[in-house]
Structure 1
Amino acid sequence: MIGLIFSRGAEGVPPPQPLDFATLVLPSSPNTCLLTPSTAPGQGHLHHDPFPVTTEAAFAAIRAIAAGQPRTYPLADYPARFQAQWVVRSRLMNYPDIVVAEAAPAGDGTGLWLYSRSLLGRSDFGVNRARVMAWLGAFEDRLRRG
């Protein structure tokens, strides 16, 4: 745990693997937030209808959103899956959270999966939900602007 807190960027975070949202089981702790397309089966805290853009455009947009976020560092990129992962460090304590985004065909458009989770502790005081909502809002704004 000490290594996670005193590391910088994505250092000290366990090596990632691609995340399979179809088999993801959310933990019982309240320190996660998962946004799924409304057309996707399974669990999720938040849902959004598919976006009327290509998968490539959606993936490029969410990667651009992540690149503009403070204390956010690339962790893994799986372009063939249209999935990327980042480490987001808290401002005061340097705690690492993981954010995973994936774009995939859904209905007549592209679905966005956005999963933010804490690596440490049980409660996050709503930080992961707020992050997902902020990234979603920025994503929608970016798509509107083209």
Structure 2
Amino acid sequence: MIGLLFSRGAEGIPPPDPVDFATLALPATPNTCLLTPTTAPGAGHLHHDPFPVSPDAAFAAIRGVAAAQPRTFPLADWPDRRQAQWVARSRLMNFPDIIVAECAPSGGGTGLWLYSRSLMGRSDFGVNRARVLDWLRAFEDRLRRG
């Protein structure tokens, strides 16, 4: 784990697999945050109604949000699933967090699954929840601007 702190970008992070949100079991630790569509089954911390755009437009928008984030680096991309993952590094200690986004048809629109989780430690002092809410606001802004 100590090697993760001295790595840069996505370096040192094990290659991920796509996340299956239908079967995702959230950890008991308080260092994660999952946003799901209100129409999707399963547990999430936050929920949002589906967006009135195509899955491709939503995926392009969330990728744009990720690209604009400081200290955030591409980790993996599955365009056929409209799912991507990034590593965000904290400013002070270089702690890595993983962010996963997926855009898929849901409830007559497009659902956004946005999952942010710490790789180290038990508590994140609300960082992952704040990140999900920030990305959601930026995502909605990008959709409004077209």
Matched, 1:117 2:124: no
- Secondary structure of 2:76's counterpart equals strand
Q: Letter of the 1:26 partner, please give it.
A: L
Match of 2:18 in 1: 18
1:105-141 Cα deviation digits (max 9, x unpaired): 0011100000000000000000000000000000001
Q: Residues 23-102 of structure 1 correspond to what in structure 2 (within 5 A)?
A: 23-102=23-102
In the aligned structure 2, how far is the partner of 1:35 from the partner of 1:99? 11
| CA displacement at 1:5 relative to structure 2 | 0.4
Give 1:22 shift.
0.4
Number of equivalent positions = 146
**Which string of whole-angstrom CA distances, capped at 9 and with x for unpartnered residues, describes residues 21-78 of structure 1?**
0000000000000000000011000000000000000000000000000000000000
Cα shift at 1:15: 1.0
1:108 and 2:103 correspond? no
TM-score, normalised relative to structure 1: 0.99
1:135 aligns to what SS in structure 2?
Answer: helix
SS at 1:80's partner residue? coil
Structure 1: gaps spanning 5 or more residues: none
Unmatched 5+ residue regions in structure 2? none
Q: Which runs of 4+ in 1 moved over 2 A?
A: none
Task: Give 1:14 shift.
Answer: 1.2
Q: Structure 2 length as normaliser, TM-score?
A: 0.99
Q: Secondary structure at the match of 2:97?
A: strand
Identity %: 80
